[in-house]
């Protein structure tokens, strides 16, 4: 089923994908988040989950309990209502202390060279804006945040690392993020934090949610070494 700027397509027999225009921006993210909230309010336990993507919402359901064609028609009806929007300033405000450069940010020098500025300017550019969490995925707790300052919108590294330390702050494809755990990765590493994006011991293991607002706060190495997340 199609609309003026959206499509609803099946993903197997137990999910439907609502696809908005393929853009990576705050407005599209807001629409998807608001649509997810509307779906949860409207259908409650009739849907198993409503998963937010960059420009998509995937609605999971039990095909033995819910008629997929009925649900598709209901979703189309929601889309025909006044366009839902989420407050651009909504979501939790989270500050992340970061120690930039050195062994904690081994790519800071190369990022500065590619951006045509100094390492200090890279730090200022990265820490001077508020980022929106677009989606969470890849590994538990990894939040894709953006948009970054255009000069820092570098492609992924040509040679990914096989082991990125937990807490590393990366840049790639116009976004920034924090590696929640030791994992391979191809983003440019510019610093590190003690903040734990994923901690199974917490009541809420995942720290970041789509729509959250994040600021990175520069700290020195002594402050980093004394912090415990």
Report the predicted TM-score, pTM, of the whole model to 2 decimal places.
0.88
- Of 140, 132, 148, 134, the residue nearest 190 (C-alpha): 148
CA atoms of 166 and 187, how far apart (whole Å)? 13
The tens place of each residue's pLDDT in the chain, 229 residues long, gives: 445 578 999 999 999 999 999 988 888 999 999 999 999 999 999 999 999 999 999 999 999 999 999 999 999 999 888 765 655 556 899 999 999 999 999 999 999 999 999 999 999 999 999 999 999 998 999 999 999 999 999 999 999 999 999 999 999 999 999 999 999 999 999 999 999 999 999 999 999 999 999 999 999 999 999 987 6
Burial of 181 (0-12, 13-18, 19+ CB in 10 A): middle
Question: Which segments of the chain belong to CATH 2.40.100.10?
Answer: 93-226
Question: Which segments of the chain belong to CATH 3.30.1360.40?
Answer: 7-80
Architecture of domain 93-226: Beta Barrel (2.40)
> E strands, the chain, where?
7-10, 15-19, 47-52, 56-61, 93-100, 131-136, 143-146, 161-164, 168-172, 175-178, 183-185, 188-192, 213-218
CATH number of 7-80: 3.30.1360.40
What are the CA-CA distances from residue 12 to residues 9, 21, 59, 68, 182 (Å)?
9, 22, 11, 10, 33
Three-class DSSP category at 229: coil
């Amino acid at each position: 089923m199609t609309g003026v700027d959206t499509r609803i397509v099946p993903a197997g027999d137990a999910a439907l994908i609502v696809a908005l225009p393929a853009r990576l921006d705050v407005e599209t993210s807001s629409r998807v988040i608001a649509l997810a909230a509307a779906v949860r309010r409207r259908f409650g336990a009739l849907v198993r989950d409503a998963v937010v993507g960059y420009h998509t919402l995937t609605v999971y359901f039990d095909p033995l309990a819910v008629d997929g064609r009925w649900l598709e028609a209901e979703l189309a009806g929601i889309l025909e209502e006044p366009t839902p929007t989420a407050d651009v300033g909504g979501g939790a405000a989270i500050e992340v202390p970061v120690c930039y450069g050195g062994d904690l940010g081994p790519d800071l020098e190369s990022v500065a060279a590619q951006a045509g500025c100094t390492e200090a300017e890279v730090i200022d550019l990265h820490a001077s804006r508020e980022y929106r969490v677009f989606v969470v995925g890849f590994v538990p707790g990894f939040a894709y945040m953006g948009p970054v300052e255009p000069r820092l919108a570098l492609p992924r590294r040509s040679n990914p690392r096989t082991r990125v330390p937990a807490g590393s702050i990366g840049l790639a494809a116009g976004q920034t993020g924090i590696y929640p755990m030791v994992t391979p990765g191809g983003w440019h590493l510019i610093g590190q934090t003690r903040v734990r994006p994923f901690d199974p011991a917490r009541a809420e293991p995942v720290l970041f949610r789509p729509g959250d607002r994040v600021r990175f706060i520069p700290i020195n190495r002594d402050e980093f070494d004394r912090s415990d997340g």
